Structure 1
Amino acid sequence: MKVLITGSKGQLAKEFIKHLTDKSIDFIAFSKEELDIRDTNKVFKILKELRPNIVINCAAYNLVDKAESFREDAIAVNTFGVANLAFACKEINAFLIHFSTDYVFDGTKEGFYTEDDKPNPINEYGRSKLFGEFFLQRILENYLIFRTSWVYGEGKQNFLYKLEEWAKEREYLKIAVDEFSVPTSTRTIVEVTMKAIEEGLTGLYHLVNSGYASRYEWAKEYFRIKGIKKLILPAYQADFNLPAKRPRWSVMSCEKICKDLGIEIRKWKEELEINLL
């Protein structure tokens, strides 16, 4: 198995790199500077030269609020960049693994979102990710798309890192109590992805830890485990007046992936504690 990873400086790629290194699996990882997936010629050149068996796309434009004003930038990476990888993988017969988001949903469902539910994104970021899924599914047959949510790991582009930074600067924090999804660790994503590769799965899956939480509950649990004494007040999404709308309820079920792999995925609280202790 020869693996190529894009977006090597991101938190998810770092977890893949750590795992593949520990398992002595042959891989090469590229940063955005080394391989910008928006660059069609560069993507084809590198993939045809290296001819990996598996491409793991960890490159993404994930600045949700900024995407409202810079829609073209989000689409360039999350849509056309993914299409570039898909076309290149098709040419060399490589397997493409891509990560999408719970923000493809509008948050109006009463109950867990499944892979059969119709997407209806309410922000530009979500639309760009959904378009990426659309192109990939029509270009390739040999792929895995994993929708995930509230991802955290080693890096600065996640809610928990921002939470600690806010705690250093502010007397108290206000966190949304009416926004629900599933906190999901990069470790869980990598473990399940590698299992899916071993079992030869293809198609679209939701890959999240079990259960669900509000932003407020997640923040409270994180500070409890870390022993951080900081007042956290419940607030509402509307209080923050952010440029991008967020679905109030984007909780996805991991039942399909668990059934197809014959596994159980840890509950988000248990996984958070394991990661932090």
Structure 2
Amino acid sequence: MKFLVFGKNGQLGTEFSQYFEINNYTYLSLSKTECDITNFKLVEKIIKDYKPNVVINCSAYNLVDKAEEEFKEAFEVNAFAIKNLGLLCQEYKCFLIHYSTDYVFDGTKQDFYTEEDLPNPLSIYAKSKYAGEKFIKETLEHYLIFRVSWVYGKGKQNFLYKLNQWAATHSMLKIAVDEFSVPTSTRTIVEITLKALKQGLTGLYHLTNSGYASRYEWSKEYLKLKQVDKLIYPAYQSDFNLPAKRPKWSVMSNQKISKILNTDIPLWNEELKLMVREMDI
């Protein structure tokens, strides 16, 4: 089986590439500079020439606040390029795996979000990601879409990297105590993705670690594991006055996929401990 990965330099693309390399998979992993997924002709040439069985899209426009102004760029990458990718996978008979976000929900549900809940995205970023989901469903009969949340791993495009930067330059950190989701490692995403593929799953699933936390709880746990002594002040989401609206509660249930795969997905804090110890996140 041959894998084609878009978004090689992102944290999820990096995790896939490392896993494939260690486990001797046949794969081609491409960065944005090597292949921008908005370039239809180039994407088609690569798929036509390489003939992958599975295309894994780890490319995304994920600058949540900047997307409020750069809405055209966000939709080009997160929606229209995904529609074209779906069309190409249909034409060249490739199986498409794509990643969406917990931000497709508005945060008003007082329970875990399931795959049956109707999205109501609040920001341009979230709307573009939801549009990408719908395009895949309209274009392909067989696919895998995984909604993920608060993803962290090797790389700079995640909250923990930013937290490290803030901790190095500030005596006190203000972190939202009223924003909840599920911190999820790139390792968990890769492992569950490949299990789902191996068992022939198709459709849309929520793929997170288990449990949930506020950003405040997540930050405290992480800095404790890193043995960084810092005062963390419990602030509110509204204190930061960010351009993009974010759901205060976007906690998704992973029960559907864990039951189908008959696997226990680790709790977010247990996985975080392993990631800090084993991968020096």
Shorter-chain TM-score: which interval?
over 0.9
Structural mapping, 1:54-203, within 5 Å: 54-203=54-203
Distance in 2 (CA, whole Å) between partners of 1:131 and 1:164 is 33
Q: Distance in 1 between matches of 2:265 and 2:147?
A: 15
> How far did residue 245 of structure 1 move?
0.7
> Could you say which residue in structure 2 is the equivalent of 1:238?
238
Q: CA deviation at 1:171?
A: 1.3
- Which amino acid in the other structure matches residue 111 of structure 1? D
Q: Is the 8 A contact 1:209 1:266 kept in 2?
A: yes
Match of 2:259 in 1: 259
Q: Distance in 1 between matches of 2:227 and 2:22?
A: 31
- Structure 1 residue 139, shift from structure 2 partner: 0.3
Name the CA distance, whole Å, in 1 between partners of 2:226 and 2:274. 12
Structure 1 Cα separation of the partners of residues 196 and 183 of structure 2: 21
> 1:248-269 deviations in whole A, cap 9, x for unaligned?
0000000000011111100000
* Cα deviations by residue, 1:134-160 (Å, 9 ceiling, x for unpaired): 001110112100000000000000000
Residue 85 (structure 1) shift: 1.0
Aligned residue for 2:39?
A: 39
Residue 83 of structure 1 and its aligned partner are, at CA, apart by 1.0
Give the ranges of 4+ consecutive aligned residues of structure 1 lying more than 2 Å apart after TM superposition.
Answer: none
User: Aligned equivalents of 1:5 and 1:40: distance in 2?
Assistant: 16
AA in 2 matched with 1:215: R
- How far is the alpha carbon of 1:55 from its aligned partner? 0.3
Structure 1 Cα separation of the partners of residues 251 and 15 of structure 2? 23
Which consecutive residues of structure 1, in runs of 5 or more, have no partner in the other structure? Answer: none
CA distance in 2, matches of 1:256, 1:152: 22
Maintained 8 Å contact 1:6/1:13: yes
**In structure 1, how many angstroms separate the alpha carbons of the residues matched to 2:41 and 2:107?**
38
Q: CA deviation at 1:84?
A: 1.5
Shift of 1:231: 0.6
Q: Is the 8 A contact 1:4 1:55 kept in 2?
A: yes
Does structure 2 conserve the Cα–Cα contact (< 8 Å) formed by 1:43 and 1:84?
no
TM-score, normalized by length of structure 2? 0.98
Residues of 1 paired with 2:162 and 2:218: CA distance? 13
Q: How far off is 1:181 after superposition?
A: 0.2
SS at match of 2:193: helix
2:213 matched residue in structure 1: 213
Alignment match, 1:268:
268
- The offset of 1:234, in angstroms, is 0.2
Q: Secondary structure at the match of 1:80?
A: helix
Amino acid at match of 1:112: F
Alignment partner of 1:265: what SS? coil
TM-superposed CA distance for 1:271, in Å, is: 0.2
Task: Determine the C-alpha separation between the residues in 2 that align with 1:135 and 1:269.
Answer: 34
Per-residue CA deviations over 1:211-238 (Å, capped at 9, x if unaligned) read: 0000000000000101001110000000
2:227 matched residue in structure 1: 227
CA–CA separation in structure 2 for the residues paired with 1:5 and 1:84: 16
CA–CA separation in structure 1 for the residues paired with 2:84 and 2:22: 30
| Contact 1:94 1:142 survives alignment (8 Å) | no
Structure 2: which 5+ residue stretches go unaligned? none
Shift of 1:52: 0.2
What percent identity do the matched residue pairs reach? Answer: 60
Q: Residue 149 of structure 2 aligns to which amino acid in structure 1? A: S
Report the alpha carbon displacement of residue 45 of structure 1 after superposing the two structures with TM.
1.3
Distance 2:196 2:23 in 1: 16
1:61/1:74 contact within 8 Å kept: yes
Q: 1:49 deviation in Å?
A: 1.1
